[in-house]
Amino acid sequence: MTNFSMLVVLLTRVDVDRVTMIITARAACILVPTFIQSPGARLLKYYILPVVTAAVNDVLTHLTQNRLSTFLGGHFQDVNLSSVLYTHHIDSSHHVDLQVWSAPGLTKPSFHEAMKQEFKPAKKGDSFGPSWTNHWWKVTLKIPSYWQQYDRVQFEFDPGCEAMIFSTDGVSLQGITGGYGGDRRVEYIIPSQAVRAGRYAVVIESSCNGMFGVPWDGDIIAPPDMNRYFQLASADLVVPDQDAWHLMWDFATLREIVDTVPGNTALQNKALVTANKIMNAFTSGDPENIKRLRGIAEDVFGKGWYAKGDKIYNEGPKKAQVVWISYCHIHTAWLWPYSVIQQKIARSWSTQIDLMERYPEHRFACSQAQQFKWLEEQYPPLFERIKKKVASGQFHLIGGSWVENDGNMPSGESLVRQFLYGQRYFESRFGKRCETAWLPDSFGLTAAYPQLIRDAGMKYFFTQKLSWNNINVFPHSTFNWVGIDGSQVLCHMTPVDTYTAQATVGDVNKGITTHKNLESDATALLVFGNGDGGGGALPKMLENLHRIRATTNEHRELPSVSMGSSVEEFFADIEETSKEGKTLPVWKGELYLEFHRGTYTSHGSIKKGDRKCEILLRDVERVATLTSLLKPKGHSYVYPKRAIDECWEKVLLNQFLPGSAIGMVYDDADKLYAEVRGVCTGLLEDAFSVLLLRSSPLLSNPTSETLVAFNATSFARHDVTKVPLSRNATRMKAQVIQTSADGKHGYALMHSVGNKVASQPVGMSSICMPASVFTNGMDHFVLRNANVQLTISEGRISSLIDVRLGRELIPKGSSGGLVIFEDRPHYWDAWDVEIHHLETATQLSFSQTQVKYGSSTIDVTVPTMKGNSRSCFNFDAVVDWHERHKFLKFELPLNINNTYATYESQFGFVQRPTHKNTTLDAAKFEVCRHKFTDLSEYGYGVAFLSESRYGFACEGNVLHISLLRAATAPDAEQDQGRHEFSWAVMPHVGSFLESDVPMAALIYNSPLHGQLGFSDVMQATSSHLFHSRLEGAPNIFLETIKRGEDDSEPNASCTTVILRMYEAFGGHGSVKLHVGEHVPVKRAYVTNILEDTKGELGLVSTTGAHSTLKLDFRGFEVKTVNSKLVLETEESDSDISVISPTMSSKRDSWVTVDEEL
């Protein structure tokens, strides 16, 4: 059988299995059975044939490949490569002196504060905690003199948690990640001069949390264990064998090549043979042996590759297919509170600076201006080191935003401020702005982004989260992303499907093998480094990249890689090779993530806090701007820019949170929202006291005579306002239309004219259409006015009628109301809601105005007619919520047919399917919207309005608004307790595009600001308070009125006012902007959202005290006519070129949209 001659073997069946096993294992043969009959027994005749050589090789390759795993660690660590990684290792108290001070409670003292405390002796093996506490160590090292002969001496400090090493004068040197995970880094290289001196000292701050917090049972999303203790596992002086470590990295790369490159290729075979040779030739205890083994590795990496250092990237292909950039994604808060992230930033970034000193090719990209500001405030020496690295081109600024914010729920103006505050911060500290927008981990992205990115001075965009889609695979890697207004940016979603790549051969290979647009551009950006909890790149990653590049210089089975360039250079190369994007595919509209849909509803308090603060800041800026312009002569009022900026920064910070963090984070966020509300309330009172002399807040002075309210919208409206009444407030009582039963409060009907900010009380008129309520008992109520009628029968909404048309809007046999679902995601609890939850609906019925379910109580005020200019039914809910894994919604079936529903998004709307024709349609069973959702057909529609809910859906003809969830991870008490929120149902004649739904939604979210005063002063001052207002196309909305960013009184050379408008319905429009009375304008300019001037606008007229500008808009265009309004009483020279108001700049590239000033 040794010469593989064909043999014939006769076997009985009982012998077949045994003989087959022997023959195939030892003789590399196969058995081909043929049945024959013979006297006395039924036999099998087997032809023994030689196995094909490839099959033999496969067997041997597999065995050899498995063998490679035994060369490091494991059962043979005493005799394999692990046994020679260290030459010396000492941990005696004589050589390592430790002293510790534990900060009290959860305090986080600075370095200088800690150094003033009394330290006590400590030793290796000590435990410290509990979770989130901070402990400071003074470490004094005595280094044996004979260690001067070695290339490197290290101090290894493993507290089992995160830590930071400082110099003795407080400079952050490097982060530490303890434990034995893939992000472990516990070594600190002692400077050579200290080794020669024989003595060295450092200070270490250790924090009792891991890279991913302190999850209770080790599951990353489990609630935190608040009583975790950590043990100091090592505090050792060591001498690493540098040759052995480099051999370890050589071998690791060879193994990755073997595991990644397809079998039976030259490179894969050579790597396997080379690794096997190294294992065969290894002997411990012989330093020269290690050097010889490294020489064997050159069979794959090339002769003399190591001596070339970072110059290895200058050889081989001139253009790499995979471009590497180091990055450290740090969740601004997640499984840790804000205080901890500030430490994570310092640890991570100081580590990257350390790596830059040793690896000249290392480039680190970093976003989030808020994180830089924290560093600037809390770690000034480290911040100065970073500034130098930015200047040297090693530390790259990306993103241009304040934080890597959620891409769905912040308002349009908030997204503007993310870029405004982010870009201005980067420019003020580093002298440059970012050119690439960067949101790798946002749970979906609004289609408003391309326009805002472009207007923030960027034209490139990087993301990757859509790789997490759980239904459809996103079809592109590199493409043009076109927004709702037609603006577009060049977008790259890394084919590696992560922003925390580990710089492996597999990562490199995936960059091309999973690239979806190789026909358009065959390059990929590979973003590597530990992230989410920080850390960034590790030395082993940079070492691996060296070896991968050396390999691709010699072989072609792997994509070529490069290091040392910037993100912008990567995008610019694509722009050039794709003929300015003309050869790239196009994706138009939102980037909807088919995952984490539950975050639209999780932690409702954050959603409410964000919406209320966004509206409040808008109002403060309008009132403060008006006050600064119209203040009495000689008054000292100054526009409170610093206070407003601080409030905005707090709101923008919280917009990192989609709803999936631990409870501690939301405690912090709620405090920030409370601070913003308190400051903004004070700023409004300060402004009103100047604008409306002798006035006071609505509830503070019931003896005042006159009521006036500030309308922060640009729309006419009627509102019912509650006012206090005193016994002798005769004049005030005359201004209300109804008094409470106890006589302590009255209800005034306020009327706002669209071009005035002041609302005045009026009496009942023919346009008011008062509501009436009828009942035939406890379970049947009818609420109606002259327009609409709603019936609640047996606890459900059984009828909704347009009275004027006589049209029933609820299908026969259907009903609306509260509904609750089972809510048990596959894994990501606070993040996800799965499509199968829709199969578990339980309808809830009112008992009068209350619903009891489980341990929860839901009080819903029987629908009332909302007190504004539109007829709608308002629902006010007070919920005492104590459910687990339940999902509360409100639903309403409608006798309306359309394949699409309309949802408000930032600066416009998006239409999404009401059907499940395709998997793309079916995936959108839960979506995000802002202030309204509308289902319309020709001639009629119904809208849902909301003041703080973001999760919505429309399935067929049933509208849903998501109200509350009850996840238990990572916050075990998510949304438990009391909630107050409102929503409204608004029928309207005409389709959505014929309706005033966006105006109604804006008013619904914009309460009047009531003031009390005395009639002579109030009438005199309120009569001239005009808005800057729009005349013409009703689809143009005035969103923002504020003072200019550079317009800080009293030293500014001119007074500037920013006015931001947008087109809300998706069509063109032309308007005249009338700047308010007593604000004469000399010049006006169009700017971008960063307030850089684009060109001068011509004034249409300046008759009397009014100034008028003519403006043209395309669909969904955002226009910051900011315009640098220069008052006639002031002089301001400008060298900006004048552009005709009707001129359009020529489309000069794929990323430019025609601008109409």
Catalytic residues, by residue number, are: 441
CA-closest candidate to residue 462, choices 380, 534, 365: 365
The phi, psi pair for 1153, rounded to 5°, reads -105, 140
> How far is it, in rounded angstroms, from Cα 4 to Cα 6?
6
Burial of 445: CB neighbours in 10 Å, binned 0-12, 13-18, 19+? buried
> How far is it, in rounded angstroms, from Cα 79 to Cα 59?
27
What stretches of 464-559 adopt beta strand conformation (E)?
478-482, 488-493, 524-528
Q: Tell me the helices (H) and strands (E) count for the chain, helix number first.
A: 22, 61
CA-closest candidate to residue 856, choices 971, 967, 949, 975: 975
Burial of 692: CB neighbours in 10 Å, binned 0-12, 13-18, 19+? buried
- Residue 386 near residue 349, CB atoms below 8 Å: yes
Burial of 878: CB neighbours in 10 Å, binned 0-12, 13-18, 19+? middle
3-state secondary structure of 1066: coil
Residue 521, token pair as written in the block: 């551009």
Q: What type of residue is 23?
A: I
> How far is it, in rounded angstroms, from Cα 259 to Cα 1121?
58
> How far is it, in rounded angstroms, from Cα 182 to Cα 355?
18
Q: Which residues contact 1032 (CB under 8 A, 6 or more apart)?
A: 1069, 1070, 1071, 1072
The neighbouring-strand residues paired with 881 are: 977
What's the number of CA atoms in the CB half-sphere (13 Å) around residue 612? 20
* Ramachandran category for residue 1018: left, alpha or beta (phi over 0 → left; psi -120 to 50 → alpha): alpha
Q: Which residues contact 812 (CB under 8 A, 6 or more apart)?
A: none
Q: What type of residue is 146?
A: Y
Helices (H), 953-1035: 997-1004, 1015-1022
How many of the other CB atoms lie within 10 Å of CB of 566? Answer: 18
Own/partner pairs, 914-920, CB within 8 angstroms, 24+ separation: 914/954, 914/955, 914/956, 914/957, 915/956, 919/471, 919/472, 920/472
How many of the other CB atoms lie within 10 Å of CB of 677? Answer: 15
Q: Which residues contact 77 (CB under 8 A, 6 or more apart)?
A: 83
> How far is it, in rounded angstroms, from Cα 566 to Cα 884?
47
* Ramachandran category for residue 711: left, alpha or beta (phi over 0 → left; psi -120 to 50 → alpha): beta
CA-closest candidate to residue 653, choices 262, 368, 376, 269: 368
Helices (H), 692-803: 730-733
What stretches of 430-487 adopt beta strand conformation (E)?
436-438, 460-463, 478-482
Question: Quick one: which H or E segment has residue 507?
Answer: helix 505-513
> How far is it, in rounded angstroms, from Cα 52 to Cα 264?
14
> How far is it, in rounded angstroms, from Cα 469 to Cα 597?
11
CA-closest candidate to residue 232, choices 163, 154, 181, 153: 163
Residue 238, token pair as written in the block: 């060591």
- Residue 950 near residue 597, CB atoms below 8 Å: no
What 3 state SS string does 403-427 have? CCCCCCCCCHHHHHHHHHHHHHHHH
